[in-house]
Structure 1
Amino acid sequence: MSSNRINTHFTAEQREEAKATLAALAASLPFLIDLSPEERAAMPRFGDKSRGFISKALDIAENNPDILPRSFSLDEFRADVEIIENLYAIRNGIDTLLGRVNDTWFAAGSEAYAAALLIYQYAKIHNVASGALEGSLDDLGRRFARKVNKSAPAA
């Protein structure tokens, strides 16, 4: 194998501790919601660049409440802005952690896949002499089987 960037053991205790920590984090944020893809698509787009716009709009609304219709709830708007600002640091921390989890998962998977390919090659070489690994090689070989396009006419 060319490189071994992941050289550790992730114990069952560490996994359970991480799962418990995630559950505690979720429990500490009971107001979090899930949006369906349709709900998300129907909403105005929002991202980091919109935060400044929202803050300035809040300043205008707070300094000029007379421009707002009576049906507009400045308190609800203020509460939404507060949630945005309070979740910002948590969101960035989770994004950073998720990036590291994804990179570690990918690197470990890549290393394991490279090792598995070597084992597959060694098993094929060994099988030529003995034939003892035929069933196992068939199982491993399914990873590389190509799917036949049934809609294409036969040649």
Structure 2
Amino acid sequence: MENKVSLNIAPADLTAIKSAMQVLTEKLGPHLLELKNNEARELPKMGDKSLAFVTKAYEYAKQHPEFAHFLDVTEFEKDTVAVQALRELLTPLAQLHQKLEDTMLLAGSEAYTAALTYYGSVKEGNKRNVPNSKIIYDDLSLRFPGRTKAKEAKKDQ
């Protein structure tokens, strides 16, 4: 198996990263809202194409308020500016989030594969009555309940 992840974040760097995350939480958190799943599903969505439309409509609303009978142009402005500011934050954070997830997935996969390889060695050692293997095997085999019993039942038949 190829080892693709060999991550070692220095303790000082990890402390700085956690501190930066705390600053983000303290400074940005109070401004953010949380929607329930059904609330999010019911809202009209604004993507990249809609952003251009919204920006144009906002500019027209400022220049021609005679057509803005049913909306608060000041709130329209706040929402438009907020979207632009939040997108500037979200894009790099989303990219970082994806890389974090990918790296964690890969590191977890490698660690789990290593654990399974070790477990296989212990299992083989247990079959051969190698000292210390039984206690390790019994402990690690708890991760796979029912599998041992099913195999033993097949052997007894």
Q: Same fold (TM over 0.5)?
A: yes
Structure 2: 5+ residue stretches without partners: 148-157
Query: Take 1:135 and 1:122, find their aligned partners in 2: how far apart are those partners?
Result: 13
Structure 1: 5+ residue stretches without partners: 148-155
Q: TM-score, normalised by structure 2?
A: 0.80
Offset of residue 75 of structure 1: 0.8
Offset of residue 137 of structure 1: 2.5
State the structure with bigger RCO (CA 8 A, min sep 6), 1 or 2: 1
Query: Take 2:32 and 2:145, find their aligned partners in 1: how far apart are those partners?
Result: 43
The 5 Å alignment of 1:3-152 reads: 3-29=2-28, 30-69=30-69, 71-130=70-129, 132-145=132-145
Distance 1:9 1:44, change over 3 A: same
Query: Take 1:128 and 1:91, find their aligned partners in 2: how far apart are those partners?
Result: 54
Provide Cα deviations, 1:6-64, integer angstroms capped at 9, x if missing partner: 22323554433322211101222231111111221232122233211111211221221
Q: TM-score, normalised by structure 1?
A: 0.81
Distance 1:136 1:51, change over 3 A: same
Task: Report the AA paired with residue 31 of structure 1.
Answer: H
Q: Quick one: percent identity of the two aligned structures?
A: 29
Distance 1:15 1:67, change over 3 A: same
Query: Take 2:77 and 2:16, find their aligned partners in 1: how far apart are those partners?
Result: 36
Query: Take 2:95 and 2:146, find their aligned partners in 1: how far apart are those partners?
Result: 37
Provide Cα deviations, 1:73-95, integer angstroms capped at 9, x if missing partner: 10100110001111112100001
Between structures 1 and 2, the one with greater helix share? 2
3-state secondary structure, aligned to 1:51: helix
Offset of residue 124 of structure 1: 0.8
3-state secondary structure, aligned to 1:122: helix
Offset of residue 72 of structure 1: 1.5
3-state secondary structure, aligned to 2:98: helix
Aligned to 2:154: none
Offset of residue 127 of structure 1: 0.8
3-state secondary structure, aligned to 2:48: coil
Task: Give the alignment's Cα RMSD to 1 decimal.
Answer: 2.1
